[in-house]
Amino acid sequence: MTTPTHDPTPSGVPLLARGKHRDPADGSCLMEYVSVLSGRRFGDRPRCTHPLLGWLARRVNDQVGDAVRARLTGVAPALVGTRVHGPHARGVVRAVVYGELATLGLVGAPRDPWLRDLHDRADEHLGHRVSGRRSLGATDRNRAFEAACESVGDLDREDRDRLLAVALARSVTRARRHLRLPAVGVVLIDAERSVAVLH
């Protein structure tokens, strides 16, 4: 006799997969799901999402394993409507994303000077204490992501993946707050049915 398995993914929610897909029948990544939710043309770069948040969502989607990726659908509604045009929007989102990546990296490498400096510069920017010397503009986003992943690389795969999912969720919710967008709840449900709700 086989024991039925319980899939905590709600019915009607797509099963997310790595990479880019031709159409929804072929599967979807997180950002392709966002394009469908927003009523836009199917694709992994919907115009309704801030480009840096979209980049982070694609990187996390492709980095994590299947179990955690399935839970990323809870972030999708909050990604819709984050593309804001304004004089400070780009810098605010950059500071939020880099700050969250640095926070993630400091979990595994609390004394890493590069991650500590990145974290401090992001905080300075969000606190409006920015000097040209401490700008985030020259920071390579791929280096920030890879440094964060490398620093938690010794953790169990699922623990590392959960931390990446939380970094994405926190980036999106904090960006919405700093951009003064309406709050959208983000729910991440993992296989053990523990729930993280962020606003």
Q: pLDDT value at position 7?
A: 41
Q: pLDDT value at position 71?
A: 92
Q: Report the sign of the C-alpha dihedral through residues 12, 13, 17, 21, in that order.
A: positive
Q: Tokens 């839970």 appear where?
A: 71
Predicted confidence (pLDDT) per residue in 6-54, tens digit: 344 444 557 898 888 888 878 899 999 999 999 988 989 999 999 999 9
pTM of the model: 0.86
**What's the CA gap between 106 and 148, in Å, rounded?**
8
**What's the CA gap between 83 and 93, in Å, rounded?**
10
- Low-confidence residues of the chain: pLDDT under 50: 1-11, 191-195, 197, 199
